Copies of this chain bind each other. A is one copy, B any other.
Amino acid sequence: MSASEDLIASTRELLWERGYVGTSPRAIQQRAGVGQGSMYHHFSGKPDLALAAIGRTAEEMRAAAEARLSGPGTAVERITAYLRRERDVLKGCPIGRLTQDPDVIADPALRRPVEETFAWLRDRLAGVLAEGRDRGELAAGLDPVATACAVVAVLQGGYVLARAAGSAEPFGQAVDGVLGLLAAHARPGA
């Protein structure tokens, strides 16, 4: 693989593990097995590298979500598939964690992909829920946008609870919790 790709891969891992503030150019180079001069030849500095890494991660996250949400089944079944997909729960969400990085939030260029990813995800889930409601699978009174926000929030908050507890259990319980609440909105015979 090219040095450039190795650097992006290394940056993606470190941003996930230690965040933007906790990741140094030096650590990125060492993990990538690439020298200092090479890094500054391909990228103008830490923000530039982070931008490339975040963009790549956001793209993959979106594709992974789309695969579950565009699959077969009812709205609730597709959302269940998305929520219960295999995850490395204790590592958390590689995009959501950037939200706690003051230097990412302060830099519009770095924050944009984070903002766009969650905006897309909320819209996509709201679309699935609206579809389910219009098909009669879900109660007519269900608010697709608010419910979609709650579903995404449960995921992101589930990671927080799991990391606090040092265990994936609260994540699973939180997911069970929303799905249980959502089931009460399902129309019989849908």
Query: A interface vs B, CB < 8 Å?
Result: 17-19, 21-22, 92, 96-97, 99-103, 105, 111, 114-115, 117-119, 122, 139, 142-143, 145-161, 163-166, 170, 173-178, 180-182, 184-185
Contacts and interface: CB of A to CB of B under 8 A. Distances in A.
B161 A174 contact: no
A160 B166 contact: no
B96 A142 contact: no
Most buried by B among A92, A180, A182: A180
A174 to B, nearest CB: 4
Given A149-B176, A152-B157, 4 more contacts: A99-B164, A147-B180, A150-B154, A156-B161
Contact of A157 (B115, B155, B170): B155
Q: Tell me if A's interface is mostly helix, strand, loop or mixed.
A: helix
Query: Which 7 A-B residue pairs are closest in the complex by CB-CB distance?
Result: A150-B177, A153-B157, A157-B157, A156-B157, A181-B181, A146-B177, A153-B174
A122 B181 contact: no
Number of copies: 2
Contacts of A184: 139, 181, 184-185
8 contacts: A18-B102, A19-B101, A96-B157, A100-B163, A146-B173, A150-B154, A151-B177, A152-B157
A63 to B, nearest CB: 19
Nearest to A147: B177
A164 B21 contact: no
Contacts of A180: 142-143, 146-147, 150
A105 B163 contact: yes
A178 B161 CA distance: 17
A124 B17 CA distance: 31
